[in-house]
Structure 1
Amino acid sequence: MAAHAAALALIPARGGSKGVPGKNLQDVGGLPLVVRSIHAAQASHRVTRVVVSTDDHAIAELSRDAGAVVVQRPQSIAGDSASSESALLHALDALACPSQSPNGLEANVVFLQCTSPFTTGAEIDKVLAALDQPKINSSFAVAPWHGFLWRADGEGINHDPNAPRQRRQDLEPSFLETGAIYAMRTTNFRAGGQRFCPPWQPVVLTDPGPEIDTLQDLALCRSLASVLSS
């Protein structure tokens, strides 16, 4: 079997959050969210290093204890308006120096979000595997979406309200970006600065689990983790 290109896992995990205070330190299934993401990356067969970018001392300590490398994120890119890309690019620049990466950066980078607590190593590998195709420069996780989508003005997006009502299973397949996993060729991402480096490839995950944006989402994930562990 051919060797896979090495991948660097990058996990942005700042200390602040408006929707869920201290979100990345919240416990789900007995583990803080940032540690769950680290463990998922460590379970990947393609990831060779796991790096957490954070401005928070508690997150940094937990991440090191879990076996991740920590990059200290400057306050200038740690606020609510800072993009994930700014944290990723800063981390790559910090890691690019010979003392940090004597053999250079890994060929691929996979960006994981702590807000997806049920990400698995196998799912990370599946998204990274899309980059085995020479023509693909980035990939991302999507999930099948089975439902009728509407615009606020009453127009149908994936259906015609004026036509006879279709069965849901007869709709043209739609796929929802999960927000959990993004993979990019490192060179292309550093050059363009965006997670979507063309050409890109969506990768379908059948059951990626919920994402945490609100306290209600957090409660749901805690309940689900309790059921899954029982």
Structure 2
Amino acid sequence: MDKPVQTLKIVCIIPARGGSKGVLQKNIRPLAGKPLITHTIGQVVHAQHDIDVYVSTDDPAIADIATQSGSRVIMRPESLSGDTATSESALVHALSKIEQVEDVDYVVFLQCTSVFRSSADIDGALSLIIQEQCDSLLSVVPSHRFLWRVGDKGAESINYDFTNRPRRQDMDRQYQENGSIYIFKPWVLSQLNNRLGGKIALYPMDERSAIDIDTELDFKVAELLLLHSASE
């Protein structure tokens, strides 16, 4: 029998290593008046679902700010903190530490470089995966782009027939992964070493949610949008 929603154990893991190269100390750099990672932690803390939030990091400065912002911290080893380390490796490590203490029903995986989500988005995504009885979920944005690739015989259209170009509104509904919200049952990660698997749900978000903060320009654009939203 499925557990009642109020008894489900839900944890959120936010990987945030200290060795960012594009923008130094990116994860704790101030954005619209507070450290970047604090935006994501706050979204989880203020969600309606009962979620324990953990930051996985190798950096004491990130750990301090995460703790001050309301998160627990899992320090990860250097072997999982280099440029070639995957998010899945950090998730496996963090979840193994958490499951030493308690069983987990759902893991919410958030990247702090995706700030354009709300607590309501996190709640909505959790409600969807629970109601649809799915094993994993990813957030997406609607896509109406005509995609191409270069094949052996030259350029090829991928998601439409260029000889019979459709109107955008007549195309099959398609979605682009935005990297903002992932949710999965622990078995998906342990058995597949992947954030996605089993029956997968899609949680649509607005186009702004696809902004990923990775460069100086991204920081400037995100700050303008956040300050504009705050003034509305």
Q: Give the structure-2-normalised TM-score.
A: 0.89
- Counterpart amino acid of residue 21 in structure 2: K
**SS of the residue aligned with 2:203?**
strand
**SS of the residue aligned with 1:202?**
strand
1:137 — aligned with what? 135
Q: Does 1:114 align with 2:112?
A: yes
Q: Does 1:216 align with 2:217?
A: yes
1:151 — aligned with what? 149
Q: Distance in 2 between matches of 1:228 and 1:135?
A: 34
C-alpha contact (below 8 Å) 2:12/2:109 kept by paired residues? yes
Q: Distance in 1 between matches of 2:137 and 2:50?
A: 15
1:43 — aligned with what? 46
Q: Does 1:172 align with 2:175?
A: no
Q: Distance in 1 between matches of 2:125 and 2:132?
A: 14
Offset at 1:129?
2.0
Q: Distance in 2 between matches of 1:122 and 1:81?
A: 33
C-alpha contact (below 8 Å) 1:158/1:171 kept by paired residues? no
1:93 — aligned with what? 96
C-alpha contact (below 8 Å) 1:53/1:70 kept by paired residues? yes
- Counterpart amino acid of residue 74 in structure 1: P
Offset at 1:135?
4.5
Q: Distance in 1 between matches of 2:116 and 2:42?
A: 11
Render the CA deviation track for 1:98-144: whole Å, top value 9, x for unaligned. Answer: xxx3xx13311100001101221111122222331474110110110
Question: Percent identity of the aligned residues?
Answer: 37
Q: Distance in 2 between matches of 1:218 and 1:109?
A: 28
1:184 — aligned with what? 184
Q: Distance in 1 between matches of 2:214 and 2:96?
A: 29
C-alpha contact (below 8 Å) 1:107/1:187 kept by paired residues? no
1:82/1:149 CA distance change after superposition, 3 Å: same
Offset at 1:53?
0.3
**SS of the residue aligned with 2:123?**
helix
**SS of the residue aligned with 1:50?**
strand
C-alpha contact (below 8 Å) 1:41/1:47 kept by paired residues? no
Q: Distance in 1 between matches of 2:51 and 2:122?
A: 12
1:3 — aligned with what? 5
Q: Distance in 2 between matches of 1:45 and 1:190?
A: 27
Q: Distance in 1 between matches of 2:137 and 2:159?
A: 24
**SS of the residue aligned with 1:136?**
coil
C-alpha contact (below 8 Å) 2:9/2:103 kept by paired residues? no
Number of aligned pairs? 223
Q: Distance in 2 between matches of 1:3 and 1:135?
A: 12
1:72 — aligned with what? 75
Render the CA deviation track for 1:150-192: whole Å, top value 9, x for unaligned. Answer: 11342112221122x3322222221010111100112332333
2:28 — aligned with what? 25
- Higher mean C-alpha deviation, range 72-81 or range 169-178: 169-178
C-alpha contact (below 8 Å) 1:158/1:172 kept by paired residues? no
- Identify, as 1 or 2, the structure richer in helix: 2
CA RMSD of aligned residues (A): 1.7
Q: Distance in 1 between matches of 2:205 and 2:144?
A: 14
**Structure 2 unmatched runs, 5+:** none
